[in-house]
Every structure is written in C-alpha cells, then in structure tokens.
Amino acid sequence: MVSATSTKVVRIRSRRVRKGFTLLEILLVVGLLALLAAFVVPALVGQAEGAKLDLARAAIGPNGPLSGAINLYKFNTGQYPSDLKYLYEEPPDDDLKKKWKQGIQDPGGLKDPWDRDYQFRAPGEKNQKSFDLWSMGPDGLDGTEDDITNWKRDTD
C-alpha cells in the first residue's frame, strides 16, 4: 500500500524535475516584447531625423565648425573663400597661398547629414556683408521649406 506521504514526495520531486517553459509562458513573453516594441520603435525612428536636423543646424550656425572655418579663412586671407574646398585645399592664387592656413582636416566635414555638399556663396545674397551657408535638408531640393540656412532661424 502506498502511503500519503510517499505520494506527496513523488509530486514534489516531479515538480522539481520539470525544466523549460510552457507554451503559454513563451507566448506571454513574446506578446509583452511585441507590445513594448510597438511603443519604442516608432519613437526611435523619429529621433534619427531630428538628430540629423540638429547636426546640420549646429554645423552652419554662427558658432558651428563649418562657419568657424570659413571665418578663420577670412581672418587669415582677408577674404572669404570662393569655394568651400579651399578650407582644406590650397587656393590657386599665389597671394592667398602665402596667407592660407588649413581650416578643415577632413573634407568629409563639408557634407551635410544626408551626405550632400553644403551650399556656399560669398558674398552672400541673404547675408550681403558675409556669406550664405545652407543645407538643402532632408528632401535634397534647394529653396524648399526644409532647407537649413545661416540666414533664418529654424523653429523645428
């Protein structure tokens, strides 16, 4: 005859022996992960584009590295460069070559976050006493609302 105590011991041992998860437990975890991803992923996707806009604004802003390099060129040579390439490449004019100091080490710094060249004009049409510097923004089209410029403040 089997005693009640030995049956209890067998049940306890069988519970301890069980390893792994049930299908219900796995489905519950997968469902929770899917729910979490549904909220987190859209928030992260929007952050990437916002970061690119902020990066372009910072580069061409009055204290930005690109604007700073252009102003340094003018300080050293007495005039603004005719092209942004002269921030890292010697200008062709012999008088400017004597005064020129390299302002940018990496020509890749002349690309906006969308991997397009920054646009530059000196003297500027909008900033007539200095220079115009802008990115064509996410759409890559010049003169549209999403352009990031050094002559107007963006409020995005």
Q: Where are the domains of the chain?
A: 57-156
pLDDT in tens, 94-104: 888 888 877 66
Residue 111, classified by CB atoms within 10 Å of its CB into exposed (0-12), middle (13-18) or buried (19+), is middle
Q: What is the pLDDT of residue 156?
A: 47
End-to-end CA distance of the chain: 82
Does pLDDT of 145 surpass 70? Answer: yes
Q: What is the pTM of this model?
A: 0.66
Tokens representing residue 57 in the block:
């604004």
pLDDT in tens, 9-63: 656 665 665 678 888 888 889 998 888 888 887 777 777 778 888 888 888 888 8
Domain spanning 57-156: CATH superfamily: Glycoprotein, Type 4 Pilin (3.30.700.10)
Q: What is the pLDDT of residue 9?
A: 60
